[in-house]
Structures are given as structure tokens and as C-alpha cells.
């Protein structure tokens, strides 16, 4: 399998998993809804997000869709600047592309992003402290970016190692 095919396959699988999970949330959970699965730690929610991460820029769905499409185009055009020669680099780019596409589809057709995964803890005072809700697309983007960082660090370490003993 060549690099572009691997990127496309990973992106496609990411989009499919993201959209199926969101369809299930839309079908089985009203808005807003919460179902605790692990008390004091994890719940499924149904939140509509018209903003970006942590609901920043809330209410700017159309602008965020445009920015996302521009970012997707830029990443596609400049993908050769990333480690897309390696299978891990191709997987990371596929995850990023798939995640962006999954959330853009929400923005274009639902006019908001469906967020449904929420981790939290309960403080001593009984207050719920949690990470913002997210979805499969968000996870794909974060894992893809994380893989790119790891690839970059490994590359810097391997290129720096021969010169480490030089004076």
C-alpha cells in the first residue's frame, strides 16, 4: 500500500467511526443529556458545540468550518513536509485528515459539532471537575498530532546522536 492510500484509508475509517458514533448519540440521547458510565470518572453526554476546542469562539460555526477546510487544504498540500514517508507518519496524517473531515461534516450538515465523551472527577465539595466533552474526530486529531510530535522527537534524537560526542 502506498503512502497516499494509507493516509486515505485511515482518514476514511476515522470519518466512518466518527459519524457512526455521532449518529448513535443523535438517535439515542436527547439534547442535552448525560449518562454516567463510570461513577466519578466517565460519562456519555450529548452536547452541541458551535465553537472550537473548549467551546472557544462559540457561535462561529460557519467561520470555523471555513478555517477547518483551509487547514485541511494546507495540510494536504504541504503533507510532504511531515513524515509521510513512514507508515506511522501516514497514519498520523490520516488521523488528522479524518478528524478534521468528521467535524467539518458536522459543521456543514448539523450546524454544530456533536460532542459526547466526557471524563471528570468529583471534588471533595461535590463539584464535578471535568475535561471538556469531545468526540472521535477530536480524538483522531489529537492522536495524529501526538504521533507527529513523537516522530519529530525521534527524528531529532537520531540526527543529534552522532554529533553528541563531537567537540
List the catalytic residues.
115, 138
Residue 153: Cβ within 10 Å count? 10
Cis ω before 32 (30° cut-off from 0) = yes
Closest alpha carbon to 19 in 113, 95, 144: 113
CA-nearest of 119, 114, 161 to 138 is: 114
**48, exposed or middle or buried, with CB in 10 Å at 0-12, 13-18, 19+?**
middle
81 vs 11: CA distance, rounded Å: 18
DSSP 134: B
Amino acid at each position: 500500500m502506498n503512502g497516499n492510500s494509507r493516509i486515505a484509508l485511515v482518514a476514511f475509517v476515522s470519518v466512518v467511526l466518527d459519524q457512526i458514533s455521532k449518529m448513535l448519540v443523535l438517535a439515542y440521547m436527547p439534547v442535552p443529556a448525560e449518562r454516567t458510565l463510570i461513577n466519578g470518572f466517565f460519562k456519555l453526554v450529548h452536547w452541541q458545540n458551535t465553537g472550537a476546542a473548549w467551546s472557544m469562539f462559540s457561535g462561529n460555526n460557519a467561520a470555523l468550518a471555513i478555517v477547518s477546510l483551509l487547514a485541511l487544504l494546507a495540510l494536504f498540500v504541504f503533507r510532504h513536509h511531515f513524515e509521510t514517508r513512514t507508515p506511522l507518519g501516514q497514519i498520523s496524517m490520516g488521523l488528522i485528515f479524518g478528524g478534521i473531515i468528521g467535524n467539518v461534516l458536522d459543521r456543514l450538515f448539523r450546524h454544530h459539532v456533536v460532542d459526547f465523551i466526557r471524563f471528570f472527577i468529583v471534588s471533595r465539595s461535590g463539584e464535578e471537575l471535568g475535561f471538556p466533552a469531545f468526540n472521535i474526530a477530536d480524538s483522531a486529531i489529537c492522536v495524529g498530532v501526538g504521533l507527529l510530535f513523537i516522530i519529530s522527537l525521534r527524528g531529532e534524537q537520531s540526527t543529534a546522536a552522532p554529533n553528541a560526542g563531537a567537540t
